[in-house]
Structure 1
């Protein structure tokens, strides 16, 4: 599959200067100029006695990390030990680790949602020498700016991604549903009705109402694509100011009540909804870049790799599509005893070759601009053009140090509606009060 040059340039421009309000960097592609290259410029520390550096990272990127950790050890003699911690646990473990002196780690994974929170304790070493004025234009400016706090780069941009929608073409064909007829959430609900009536699938869709998936891959992106944000710049709630939040909750509740949506989604996270979709149980999947690509290519997680395809997240008629974006960065702790070696590994794991392999393996999208024009990546991902296009409709969520606690409360609100414990309007009002309470702490 090959994308046109005009589409690629549009994507690069939007990602580099249009996704977040803080972006202001030039997006022209300079010649590659990496300040530190692990296989060419060894630090005095790595030329001496080999050392072991430790990293705390989530497991989804495990294959890529293991591959390049082994290559790094072969080239430098230095070992990389990685503790992989699940999404459901990594936030709390990271906070505990940071607050107790670093736990012996050198490198810690920083999700885009937690940049402000994780940087609040001055735990991370500035790494401004790794992305300089000379090579800044090689990177997605939106992600570099996201990880720049008070003028200091605190994490190497590792990957980008966001919320995406996948569908099972076999189910839709058996139900007689044309995928091109689905542009709005009402269109999707109509398709779900047909799927149920024809018995083409057990369920049309499964919400991922459990924390942490609910915000990005369920209600949060639904609200955004219905035309509303959640907060103003000060963290005050604004999602009660139009009907998008209630409309999205009503959509979920209707789907459950009508038997279109799997009610078990009340307790499922985004990985578990991927597994459901991968068994052919559901027709649609709203999930991460990583998850939807696994559905199309990873036979260990999906039995429908041949029939899984991508579509734009539905909108509300006025908005064609939207969804929340995310990024992953790797930060260097100030408590690291092997900073030079750790910085070499940060550069090595985020270099063009490593990011290319990361993308080809179907994990997440790169943070190096040149790779969005790479033919091997485009041909390796069926539907890469749709995934890339979806990012142009997206935006990063807000940056508040209390955002993680709020996401838990948001999941509770959705679960209460699904279980019939609350109406959509009451759930929104409760979450407004929760937002004010959490923000005031």
Structure 2
């Protein structure tokens, strides 16, 4: 009798044990923009490899940059809690630091790890002595041109000044080489703010100077915007669809042989221009060693790095850090450099013989990179870019003059502060 009771109890215990589910795997939510030229899904592939190797499950969300920005900013402003690893744009550093939205990563990252990354990238995402983000995208922009088209129009070298851009574009158009020599991404989204900053800087202008004086509506700032408008509307040298194009769509015009100049393409532009499955200009594209500008002193390119950050509201910070350290490792960075042609994040990869043999044009990137400049580092950059893209596109569409559009941006800036200094007109 006792034995039967013992066996029954044992059976009940086994049945109960089988009914208890195994401990759920830790799960994190990651949100990031689609890399401009990751057309093969490499970030998704590497994320699934992380899951397999660590057992941590990842809800991996990739959307357009503007969609990601809207979701991240809305969530953080509401107190957070939705995401464990987020997109951290270079234009958000001051704002996020002031709001205390992201976790300092110094306690997680070793000195050796941080020192192995490019110092300029780490420095961009640091504030008050704390590292707030680990870069995932070394997004410096470069000047690409179609060498075959220039040769057909008997042009010996790509333009160095904006005056030369206009002259060469007219010659290309008049010779029937290409109808619209310039492709731009001027849709009313964040990227238009980037494009406008490039033109503004390359005309020797800025939104404001180091004393807090607003300069966007001064002659050089207006000149930059007028040049954009005239090239599009009067001279018809910029493809007319540019006012509706994203960065990817503008680059595709270039790949399809519908433009000779792409002034601010990401580094992977060269790779995809030479991919016969995606391009009709294989072997024709070059990266210049310089950038078009008003004059030699004004030459500049944009550096637009992006990072991963961990919100303070995350409930899975350790797992989030494991994901960041796995994805931003030399092994995965090297794979992305090989597959996508993206510029590495780690110092050592710039002396890697195999990578240099595959990408000899990185030399031209290096020369252009010496002129790299970031977007304005202010807490209210989100509001600035929204004002800018609306006003600039109004000018591009002929709904406002360049003077009026620049005045609208200046009006927004009036009364804003930079490090405690009030901006004035």
Quickly name the TM-score band, shorter chain normalised.
0.7 to 0.9
Does residue 250 of structure 2 align to residue 273 of structure 1?
yes
Query: Counterpart in 2 of 1:141?
Result: 119
Question: What is the deviation of 1:284?
Answer: 0.8
2:336 and 2:358 map into 1 onto residues whose CA distance is 11
Query: Counterpart in 2 of 1:339?
Result: 317
Q: 1:234 to 1:292 in 2, by over 3 A?
A: farther
Query: Counterpart in 1 of 2:28?
Result: 53
Query: Counterpart in 1 of 2:128?
Result: 150
* CA-based RMSD: 2.5
User: Unaligned regions of 5+ residues in structure 1, if any?
Assistant: 1-47
Q: Which moved more, 1:189-198 or 1:57-66?
A: 57-66
Q: Which moved more, 1:129-138 or 1:221-230?
A: 129-138
1:136 and 1:341 map into 2 onto residues whose CA distance is 19
2:70 and 2:275 map into 1 onto residues whose CA distance is 29
Conserved 8 A contact 2:251-2:265:
no
Query: Counterpart in 1 of 2:60?
Result: 82
Residue pairs, 1:181-220, within 5 angstroms: 182-210=159-187, 211-216=189-194, 218-220=195-197
Q: 1:247 to 1:375 in 2, by over 3 A?
A: farther
Cα deviation code 1:139-182 (max 9, x no counterpart):
222221221223221211223122211112222222222225x2
Q: 1:247 to 1:353 in 2, by over 3 A?
A: same
Q: 1:310 to 1:428 in 2, by over 3 A?
A: same
Q: 1:207 to 1:75 in 2, by over 3 A?
A: closer
2:184 and 2:52 map into 1 onto residues whose CA distance is 44
Query: Counterpart in 1 of 2:17?
Result: none
Question: What is the deviation of 1:292?
Answer: 2.3
1:122 and 1:220 map into 2 onto residues whose CA distance is 27
Does residue 141 of structure 2 align to residue 163 of structure 1?
yes
Q: Aligned to 1:237, what secondary structure does the other structure show?
A: coil
Conserved 8 A contact 2:31-2:85:
yes
Q: Aligned to 1:161, what secondary structure does the other structure show?
A: coil
Residue pairs, 1:178-327, within 5 angstroms: 178-180=156-158, 182-210=159-187, 211-216=189-194, 218-232=195-209, 237-241=214-218, 243-256=219-232, 257-290=234-267, 292-299=269-276, 301-311=278-288, 312-319=290-297, 321-327=299-305
Q: Which moved more, 1:52-61 or 1:297-306?
A: 297-306
Larger Rg: 2
2:389 and 2:416 map into 1 onto residues whose CA distance is 15
Query: Counterpart in 1 of 2:91?
Result: 113
The total of aligned residue pairs comes to: 391
1:288 and 1:328 map into 2 onto residues whose CA distance is 16
Does residue 333 of structure 2 align to residue 355 of structure 1?
yes
1:300 and 1:52 map into 2 onto residues whose CA distance is 37
2:168 and 2:186 map into 1 onto residues whose CA distance is 21
Q: Which moved more, 1:312-321 or 1:152-161?
A: 312-321
Query: Counterpart in 1 of 2:389?
Result: 411
Question: What is the deviation of 1:184?
Answer: 0.9
TM-score, scaled relative to structure 2: 0.84
Conserved 8 A contact 1:130-1:347:
no
Conserved 8 A contact 1:203-1:260:
yes
